[in-house]
Amino acid sequence: MMLLDKTAIIYGAGGAIGGSLAETFAREGAKLFLTGRSKGNVDRAARKINAAGGFAEAAEVDALDEKAVEQHLNMVIGKTGRIDISFNAVGIPNTKILGVPLVEMDVEQFSLPIATYTRSYFLTARMAARHMIPNKSGVIMRVTALHSRTGIPLVGGYGLAMAAMEALTRELSAELAPQGIRVVGLRPQAMPETRTIKEAFEPRARASGMTWEQWQEFLASRTHTRRLMTLAEMANVAAFMASDKASGMTGTTVNLTMGSLDD
């Protein structure tokens, strides 16, 4: 087990990526503290893990609320004495941020993903780091998307938000790695089994005269493998990156686009 007895908090654990990470981390032996805005989704994720013999506790935490993040983290430290892994997998609904040409977009809609994503990653990372520094150990993680590195139409401020979080990963690492804390990210391409991707791409597929299945084939054709990544594959890489086996890895976001995007 790569994460035996590690204490991990996942923000956005009621979502597709957060939930998949939680199951994989639990299988690898981690003690999970799952958080999200809607408790129902997080409860479901925790129940699944506990039923399979793992340890998961669910809590409602708004990852944009400094006090709520701090109170929850203090509760976790009170119970376990430490925090080893902090993973921010928060995602805001794509319907609020995508689909409008930049020339027609108002500044509020443009700024929303940039402000929301960076605030939540900064808050959760900063708070975790404060508790990791005394232990001289810990891993801070975030998921981004290939929009950070390539121009894609109709994505508003989303690409900037992803690029900003990758920059924050590097900056946090530069300050924290000398104190034993690693900061790493994952940049997967679209995983079609997630609701978010279907919501984001189905209207674009329709607009291009393609079915959802044809659109997936089009995306897959741009990878070296000619298929898209699964959630389980992404979560397995994340578990390795969170583990001590990845002790040589920090200040980087791993390209999981299977060849769609060159480094």
Query: What SS3 state is found at 105?
Result: coil
Tokens linked to 235 = 């979560």
Is residue 188 at the binding interface for ligand NAP, with CB under 6 A as the rule?
A: yes
Among 6, 14, 34, 181, binds ligand NAP (CB under 6 A): 14
Is residue 62 at the binding interface for ligand NAP, with CB under 6 A as the rule?
A: yes
Cα–Cα distance measured from residue 54 to residue 25, given in angstroms and rounded to the nearest whole number: 9
Among 24, 124, 169, 194, binds ligand NAP (CB under 6 A): 194
Cα–Cα distance measured from residue 190 to residue 234, given in angstroms and rounded to the nearest whole number: 11
Q: How many CB atoms lie within 10 A of CB 130?
A: 12
Among 6, 11, 32, 181, binds ligand NAP (CB under 6 A): 11
Cα–Cα distance measured from residue 53 to residue 185, given in angstroms and rounded to the nearest whole number: 28
Cα–Cα distance measured from residue 183 to residue 57, given in angstroms and rounded to the nearest whole number: 24
Taking residues 92 to 121 in sequence order and writing x for each that binds ligand NAP by CB under 6 A, - otherwise, the string is x---------------------------x-
When CB distances to ligand NAP are compared, the closest residue is: 15
**Nearest C-alpha neighbor of 9 from the set 51, 53, 63:** 63
Among 125, 128, 139, 143, binds ligand NAP (CB under 6 A): 143
Nearer to ligand NAP, 17 or 83 (CB): 17
Output the smallest distance, CB 258 to ligand NAP, in A.
12
Among 6, 10, 59, 91, binds ligand NAP (CB under 6 A): 91
Tokens 């799952």 appear where?
34
* Total number of residues that touch ligand NAP (CB under 6 A): 28
Output the smallest distance, CB 102 to ligand NAP, in A.
18
Among 76, 176, 197, 246, binds ligand NAP (CB under 6 A): 197
- Under 8 Å CB-to-CB from 164, ≥6 apart: which residues? 114, 117, 118
Is residue 90 at the binding interface for ligand NAP, with CB under 6 A as the rule?
A: yes
Is residue 156 at the binding interface for ligand NAP, with CB under 6 A as the rule?
A: no
Is residue 190 at the binding interface for ligand NAP, with CB under 6 A as the rule?
A: yes
Is residue 235 at the binding interface for ligand NAP, with CB under 6 A as the rule?
A: no
Tokens linked to 133 = 């520094």
Q: Are 35 and 11 in contact (CB under 8 A)?
A: yes
Q: Determine the length of the chain.
A: 263
Q: How many CB atoms lie within 10 A of CB 93?
A: 11
Q: Under the rule (CB under 6 A), what is the footprint of ligand NAP?
A: 11-12, 14-18, 36-38, 41, 62-64, 89-92, 120, 143, 145, 188, 190-191, 194-197
